[in-house]
């Protein structure tokens, strides 16, 4: 099946620092989504990307759809304690049925006050 | 809050029993997806349904698992004769249309098998 690899696997940062994480795939995706999951809760959609090269912001979050369509990046500026959680990339691969969303392995973020 | 509602939030079953997980999608959403998440892993697609139809069940085990989304009422994920390996968090998501439309998730049902 599809493999979405996220890096880094985990991050420990000081409050106020910027964060960068990425997601890579072995195949082309036509949509990239970034979700955040808090413990005991479901994933919450942060940003959706639909075109190669697209750069989209949502507050302190910025995500980019890679030119190769096999990767995506998420940046968080000026991190705050409530940014703690697990960040997942997800999407339907171009080669698939369009129904299945594949999820990445996740990046766990810890913000130290 | 008119988000995706799942119940129960926690379900404990003994081996061999049946588990029924319910999902009410966002009002107006007719597309429902079920995912399974093991600890410290990402979500794995199981099944995609529209009202009264299973569209894609390629991620769901052929035996013991079934799903439905009736014309009236919530979507149900049913696991018969549960085994220890079924212990996981099961998430439901919905979208107004299928395809690449972002899916909105419920808070999941955590199934524990004794």
Candidates B43, B69, B101, partner chain A, best to mutate (most A CBs within 10 A): B43
Indicate the pairing of strand B109-113 with strand B10-13: parallel
- CB-nearest to A33 from B42, B98, B102 is B102
A12 at interface of B, judged by CB pairs closer than 8 A: no
Q: Is the pLDDT of residue A111 over 90?
A: yes
Tokens of B2: 């008119």
Q: Is the pLDDT of residue B2 over 70?
A: no
Give the phi and the psi of residue B86 in degrees, each rounded to 5: -80, -10
Which residue do the tokens 């420990």 mark?
A12
The conformational region for residue B38 under phi > 0 = left, psi -120 to 50 = alpha, else beta, is: beta
- CA-derived radius of gyration, chain B: 13
Quote the percentage of chain A above a pLDDT of 90.
78
C-alpha to C-alpha distance for B36 and B54, rounded to whole angstroms:
17
- CB-nearest to A42 from B45, B100, B106 is B106
Sort B79 into a burial class: Cβ within 10 Å, 0-12 / 13-18 / 19+: buried
Inter-residue contact A29 to A70 (CB < 8 Å): yes
C-alpha to C-alpha distance for B90 and B62, rounded to whole angstroms:
17
Element of type H or E holding A46: strand A44-49
The conformational region for residue B99 under phi > 0 = left, psi -120 to 50 = alpha, else beta, is: left
Candidates B3, B58, B100, partner chain A, best to mutate (most A CBs within 10 A): B100
Which residue do the tokens 């009736």 mark?
B70
Q: Is the pLDDT of residue B94 over 90?
A: yes
Judge: A42–B42 Cβ closer than 8 Å, yes or no: no
Note the pLDDT tens digit of each residue in A49-92.
999 999 999 999 999 999 999 999 999 999 999 999 999 999 88
Note the pLDDT tens digit of each residue in B31-82.
999 999 998 888 999 999 998 899 999 999 999 999 999 988 999 999 999 9
Q: Is the pLDDT of residue B1 over 60?
A: no
Note the pLDDT tens digit of each residue in A26-39.
889 889 999 999 98
More confident residue, B96 or A84: A84
Question: In chain B, positions 8-47, which contact chain A (CB-CB < 8 Å)?
Answer: 33, 35, 40-45
Inter-residue contact A19 to A76 (CB < 8 Å): yes
């Amino acid at each position: 099946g599809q493999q979405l690899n996220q890096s880094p696997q985990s991050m420990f940062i000081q409050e106020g620092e910027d964060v960068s994480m990425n997601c890579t795939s072995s195949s082309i995706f036509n949509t990239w989504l970034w979700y955040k999951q808090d413990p005991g809760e479901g994933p919450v959609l942060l940003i959706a990307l639909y075109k190669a090269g697209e750069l989209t912001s949502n507050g302190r979050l910025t995500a980019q759809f890679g030119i190769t369509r096999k990767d995506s990046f998420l940046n968080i500026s000026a991190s705050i304690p409530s940014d703690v959680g697990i960040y997942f990339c997800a999407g339907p691969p171009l080669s698939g049925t369009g129904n299945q969303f594949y999820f990445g392995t996740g990046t766990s973020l810890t913000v130290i006050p | 809050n008119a988000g995706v509602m799942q119940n129960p939030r926690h379900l404990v079953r003994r081996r061999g029993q049946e588990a029924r997980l319910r999902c009410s999608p966002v009002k107006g959403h007719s597309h429902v997806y079920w995912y399974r998440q093991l600890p410290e892993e990402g979500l794995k697609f199981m099944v995609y349904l529209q009202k009264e139809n299973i569209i894609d069940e390629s991620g769901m085990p052929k035996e013991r698992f079934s799903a439905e989304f009736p014309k009236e009422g919530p979507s149900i994920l049913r696991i018969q004769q549960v085994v220890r390996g079924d212990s996981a968090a099961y998430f439901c998501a919905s979208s107004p249309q299928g395809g690449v439309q972002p899916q909105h998730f419920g808070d999941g049902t955590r199934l524990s098998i004794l």
